[in-house]
Every structure is written in structure tokens, then in C-alpha cells.
Amino acid sequence: MNADGCHLGQNDMSILEARKIIGNKIIGITCHNSIKLANNALKNKADYLAFGAFNSSKTKKVKYKASINLLKRVRKITKNPIVAIGGINSNNYKKLLLNKANFLAISGYIWNNKKLKPIEAIKKIK
């Protein structure tokens, strides 16, 4: 595929196994709402850490709830990029960016928006 990298969930293969397959490409890992999972991912050389859900979501059932305080705590232990996920929309995305999230994973707001077409939804969060 020649992708830039991959994202691993907690039930996927380990970072070390993925690194053997894709080499020196980007590997991110889901850390839910856990500093322990983040530390483990960093120890195994994850390139970015994903946390969430920060808000309720219709895209996926929310099993883990992450907080703004978690973003601040994670930023103190790493300079690696942080991805925020879960129920992100035009009303709540700025708070995540202002509190140290580097990237936002936004799905439902763009693709399942009953009021806006995908391009219109994207423009609202630029």
C-alpha cells in the first residue's frame, strides 16, 4: 500500500511486531484514557498516542472517557504527538487543541452530519 504508517488498537499486534512489518514508518497506538498505556506505548517507541473518547459519539460505543486533564498530564511526559478522538465537532474541537492535542480524529461530524455535507462540516472546523 505504501502508506505512511498505521494505527494500532490495544487488541492489535504489538508495536514491535508492526515495526517488523512496516519498518521505519509512523505507528500510533490507542491509549484510551490511560497514562499506563501511554507510558507502555512510549517505551515501545510509538510515534503518536491516541486518547478518547473525549465526548459521546454515535460512531462507536464509548467504553473509555478521556478528559482535558489527561491531555495536560500526557503532555508532561512526552513531546510525541497526541491525537484526540471521540465525538469531536465544531463546538468542542478548539478546547482539545488549546489543551495540547496535536491532531483530531473526526469521523461522525463529517460523514454522518444530517445538517452539513462533508465539505461544509470540514470548513466549520478550519
Distances (CA, A) of 121 to 11, 21, 65: 32, 36, 24
119: three-class secondary structure by DSSP: helix
- At 12 the pLDDT is 96
From first to last of its 126 residues, what are the pLDDT tens digits of the chain?
A: 789 999 999 999 999 999 999 999 999 999 999 999 999 999 999 999 999 999 888 777 788 899 999 999 999 999 999 999 999 999 999 999 999 999 999 999 999 999 999 999 999 998
CB atoms within 10 A of CB 94: 10
Q: Tell me the domains of the chain and their CATH numbers.
A: 5-124 (3.20.20.70)
CB atoms within 10 A of CB 36: 9
- At 2 the pLDDT is 85
| DSSP letter, residue 49 | E
* H or E element, residue 100: none
pTM recorded for the entire structure: 0.91
- At 60 the pLDDT is 76
- At 63 the pLDDT is 87
Q: How large is the angle between the packed helices 35-43 and 68-77, nearest 10 degrees? A: 30
- At 111 the pLDDT is 94
